[in-house]
Structure 1
Amino acid sequence: MSEKNTKAEILRVFELQKKFKWSLRQTTAQERREKLKKLKEKIFAESENLYQALWQDYKKPREEADLAEVLPVIAEIHDSVKNLPDWMRPKVVETPIHLGTARSEIHYEPLGQTLIIAPWNYPFNLSIAPLISAIAAGNTVMLKPSEYAPHTAEFLARILKDLFYEEEVAVFQGDASVSTELLKLPFDHMFFTGAPSIGKVVMKAAAEHLSVCTLELGGKSPVIVENTADVREAGKRIAWGKWVNAGQTCIAPDYVLVSEDKKEALINAIHDAVKSFYGQTPIEWRNSADFCRIVNKRHFDRVKGLIDDAKKRGAQVAFGADTDEHDNYISPTVITDIAEGSRILEEEIFGPVLPIVTYRHLDEALEYIRRGEKPLALYVFSSSESTIENVLRNTAAGGTSINDCLMQFVNPKLPFGGCNNSGLGRYHGHHGFKAFSHERAVFKQSRLFNPMQIFYPPYGGQFRETFQKFIRHIM
């Protein structure tokens, strides 16, 4: 489709959804639940095609597809179907005594027309999860999946076309020019997942229309391994959190802070975990069906460039750093003794490379984290409750897992999102429903008696006397 035709098609569908949103906001909880149930049935029915699409895009193992793409989405649907009637029900809130017998409520209304721009690293999950929240809240959706995962994008377009009329949900495929055209339109809500640099572009576009904006971004998510931690177990859990999806996860451990005397033990534990996951030798790692590839040549070159830059500045490779540009393969890699100013310590890695940074005292580790932007995730491995509380009180992050990695994302009862450079707003479960809803204040005054009439004009001595009694004794 030509650029001119794409623009015209986007405008056509936008106008269709603009009209339809007023009908859609009248849908009941049961009607929305039925849509979500049909979506779940479709996912199960099409699972083999989804596995194939993800493998074609970057050799994602079907087991990782189940764990990281399908399971979180099914959990979101289950949570929404179970709780949607309660979420939609108006909430009665307290009415102050001076307002008499009035009733105060919060009503949850759809925001209206929504735009979801999804990333390539979890192209199914991070497209469908916000879509579930948008549907639950009664919105229309225009979805732009990433062109870097074209087979999954095509899969999404096909199954959603089977399930929804375009005036409710429509998918637009293509490169960044398609996103640019979409961002010109006055959506009621723009939802973006991706890099902070592009998040700023989306936020500027939202500002042009004063659109509600949710940004799910990233950053350098640190891991603290404190002296009381079980190093062997920490190594295994860090290794899984880092190398699932070949490190292409927005909440993957980006670097590890460990005390100098625990450094070698932790590296050995991580190395042993990698061997237990992917094989005993680097050749077995490369041939493992359980380790996926970098999504494309551009990102392969970027991640390899981070390794090369660190090595030129004197960093040591503890293990890994094997690459194959013809297969976009970079092996699980741990790097130590990294010089200040190395790009790998300044840029989000988003790949299978894990820097190890040592500290002498925990306060040094906390200060190191605070010098950077607020991360999307922060991980702490410790057996000391006081140490854990100290880390939580003296750092800021979108979310945190204690003695594990990634798990804060999996629980739909927890809000997921960043702060400042790592994101704006949050979703999942009830938090997602509220992200795509407007909380409308509704005040119902008594038809018979309004106590506030005593403060109507004309003002004078009686007003002042009454008001003083009111402010001192009632408020």
Structure 2
Amino acid sequence: MDILADTPIADLAATRERLRAAWQARKPDYTQRRADLIRLRDVFRERGPEMDAAIRGDFGHRSSHENLLSEVMITQAEIDHALARLRRWMRPRGASVGWRFWPARAEIRPEPVGVVGILSPWNYPVNLALVPLVSAIAAGNHVYLKPSEHTPRVARFLRELLAEVFPEDRVAVAIGGPEVGAAFSALPFDHLLFTGSTAVGRKVMAAAAPNLTPVTLELGGKAPALICADYPIEQAAARIASGKWFNAGQTCIGVDYVLVDAARRDELVAALLRQLQQRYGDLVEPRDYTRIINASQYARLSSYLDDARTRGLRIEEPFADSAPREQREAERIFPPALVIEPGMDALVMQHEIFGPILPILSYRTLDEAIARINALDRPLALYPFGHDSAQIEKILTQTLSGGVTVNDTLLHFGAHDLPFGGIGPSGIGAIHGRNGFDTFSKLLPVFYQRSKAGSDMIKPPYRGRIDAMIRWLAK
């Protein structure tokens, strides 16, 4: 593969200025926005096999079925969702002025903000680049995209795809590593979206602060699954397995640890081990199991298990003998592992795992389980499992997370009418569907005064009827 040369840092500001000048000269109307989205959808469909090959090349291997589900299906559904609702989203929204200002009227106009910067990650490198781009284009903006340097083949694919769809003064792509990313974050965008780790999110927010650039941060955290005592273990295990080992756990809303009632902890462990065997066989030739993105991430995950061993924790590694360690490291195949009852000081509980290691913790009471969730930062996602609606309601009201799927995992991400975003260390702001459209719009309040209005009377001297009117209005 020809490696793309990094975008010179000196060129970043000029590109943003070109995008801004073109936007100012001709702000995209409904016809252009719709045509852009249709063309993006059509070209994206045509180049699906190319996208699949790029992702598999960057990961070393990822199942084409996982690419279809996480990249193709989600992206195309987001485009179709926007196309079906774009005209309605763009309409001014009526707003009440209240009886005191009658007969005036008001409305809220969604107006494009200008140039949106997007810093996209490596774990779902197409979906997490194009879904926010769809929202930004639907809202009438121009876009400057900076894909992750850890997926260079996908970065090349995205640059070529977007160059085929958009003129260079409407959408541009910057290529490069951390230095380019830092300079990109510091550009005076009209809005900046970053998807990635909390640590890097802090740096992005700090870089954007001198320009007072509005930021949306889609970060991560330790997303728990909480199994209530009335929920069937086999079904919980199957759904948690899907939410954990899809993409080898490299998912920002993936299940990061499980809380289960103490009496059924070992039953859950056994059920999860059965799920792994059913899904991946003996893992000798793992066609459906995604590789870890790079050696650095592999080493990080290995250090978590090394720490657990040093602490004497019970670790279940059903595929430990599937291949020699050297071979697994060379191919970046990190087998799934369960860590049983780690303390809060263990590395697997100190950091977002972002890989195929799953801690299993038991609880005695639901209050204890909720307290353990609340002892950590507010997560990007929460997965309660239970049939008792009162218990589910208790979990929902006594915790706070970016989003929730009840009795399953991950699926709220694909519901385009639901806002997707975190809270605090797991993120700021939200995207998807109309929420993404609004994020990249200025919701402009407009107040229309009539030719004759009662406010014309409210002026000094405040005596007599005017004094009485003001006092009446202020009641």
Q: Common fold, TM-score beyond 0.5?
A: yes
> What is the rounded CA distance, in whole Å, between the counterparts of 2:152 and 2:215 in structure 1?
26
> What is the rounded CA distance, in whole Å, between the counterparts of 2:13 and 2:132 in structure 1?
22
Aligned to 2:129: 127
1:350 maps to 2:373: no
Paired residues of 2:273 and 2:318 also in contact (CA < 8 A): no
1:78 maps to 2:80: yes
- In structure 1, the gaps of 5 or more residues are none
1:457 maps to 2:460: yes
Tell me which moved more, 367-376 or 196-205: 196-205
> What is the rounded CA distance, in whole Å, between the counterparts of 1:439 and 1:410 in structure 2?
25
> What is the rounded CA distance, in whole Å, between the counterparts of 2:315 and 2:5 in structure 1?
48
Could you list the per-position Cα deviations for residues 332-391 of structure 1 after superposition, in whole angstroms to 9, with x for gaps in the alignment?
Answer: 111103234111111000000000011111111100010110000000111111110010
Counterpart of 1:315 (choices 313, 316, 325) is 313
Q: CA distance change for structure 1 residues 426 and 106 in 2, over 3 Å: closer, same or farther?
A: same
> What is the rounded CA distance, in whole Å, between the counterparts of 2:343 and 2:460 in structure 1?
72
Aligned letter for 2:50? N
Q: Percent identity?
A: 37
Counterpart of 1:333 (choices 312, 337, 343) is 337
> What is the rounded CA distance, in whole Å, between the counterparts of 2:30 and 2:263 in structure 1?
57
> What is the rounded CA distance, in whole Å, between the counterparts of 1:435 and 1:115 in structure 2?
13
How far off its partner does 1:295 sit? 0.2
Aligned to 2:45: 44
> What is the rounded CA distance, in whole Å, between the counterparts of 2:319 and 2:256 in structure 1?
16
Paired residues of 1:13 and 1:166 also in contact (CA < 8 A): no
Aligned to 2:201: 199
| Aligned pairs for 1:144-159 within 5 A | 144-159=146-161
Aligned to 2:302: 304
1:419 maps to 2:420: no
Paired residues of 1:307 and 1:321 also in contact (CA < 8 A): no
Aligned to 1:185: 187
| Aligned pairs for 1:37-116 within 5 A | 37-58=38-59, 59-116=61-118
Could you list the per-position Cα deviations for residues 2-29 of structure 1 after superposition, in whole angstroms to 9, with x for gaps in the alignment?
Answer: 87x712321221121121122442x322
How far off its partner does 1:454 sit? 1.9
> What is the rounded CA distance, in whole Å, between the counterparts of 2:343 and 2:465 in structure 1?
75
Could you list the per-position Cα deviations for residues 392-432 of structure 1 after superposition, in whole angstroms to 9, with x for gaps in the alignment?
Answer: 01101000111100001011011000000000000100000
Aligned letter for 2:468? E
Say which SS state the counterpart of residue 105 (structure 1) adopts. strand
Paired residues of 1:223 and 1:255 also in contact (CA < 8 A): yes
Aligned letter for 2:41? K
1:468 maps to 2:466: no
Counterpart of 1:287 (choices 285, 306, 313) is 285
Aligned to 1:173: 175
> What is the rounded CA distance, in whole Å, between the counterparts of 1:24 and 1:272 in structure 2?
59
Say which SS state the counterpart of residue 98 (structure 1) adopts. helix
How far off its partner does 1:31 sit? 1.9
> What is the rounded CA distance, in whole Å, between the counterparts of 1:49 and 1:242 in structure 2?
27
Q: So what's the TM-score if we normalise by structure 1? A: 0.95
How far off its partner does 1:286 sit? 4.0
Paired residues of 1:196 and 1:217 also in contact (CA < 8 A): yes
Aligned letter for 1:464? D
> What is the rounded CA distance, in whole Å, between the counterparts of 2:446 and 2:249 in structure 1?
47
> What is the rounded CA distance, in whole Å, between the counterparts of 1:267 and 1:24 in structure 2?
59
Aligned to 1:366: 370
Q: CA distance change for structure 1 residues 425 and 24 in 2, over 3 Å: closer, same or farther?
A: farther
Could you list the per-position Cα deviations for residues 31-67 of structure 1 after superposition, in whole angstroms to 9, with x for gaps in the alignment?
Answer: 2111111111111100111110011011111100000
Could you list the per-position Cα deviations for residues 163-188 of structure 1 after superposition, in whole angstroms to 9, with x for gaps in the alignment?
Answer: 11121100111111111221221111
Paired residues of 2:222 and 2:380 also in contact (CA < 8 A): yes
How far off its partner does 1:469 sit? 2.1
Paired residues of 1:310 and 1:339 also in contact (CA < 8 A): no
Aligned to 1:228: 230
Tell me which moved more, 262-271 or 331-340: 331-340
Say which SS state the counterpart of residue 450 (structure 2) adopts. coil
How far off its partner does 1:321 sit? 6.7
Counterpart of 2:443 (choices 408, 432, 439) is 439
> What is the rounded CA distance, in whole Å, between the counterparts of 1:220 and 1:337 in structure 2?
16
- In structure 2, the gaps of 5 or more residues are none
Aligned letter for 2:340? T
Aligned to 1:400: 404
> What is the rounded CA distance, in whole Å, between the counterparts of 1:470 and 1:178 in structure 2?
57
> What is the rounded CA distance, in whole Å, between the counterparts of 1:92 and 1:380 in structure 2?
38
> What is the rounded CA distance, in whole Å, between the counterparts of 2:15 and 2:406 in structure 1?
45
Aligned to 1:30: 31
1:375 maps to 2:379: yes
Aligned letter for 1:469? W
Q: So what's the TM-score if we normalise by structure 2? A: 0.95
| Aligned pairs for 1:224-303 within 5 A | 224-279=226-281, 281=282, 285-303=283-301
Aligned letter for 2:236? A
Aligned letter for 2:242? W
Paired residues of 1:57 and 1:149 also in contact (CA < 8 A): yes
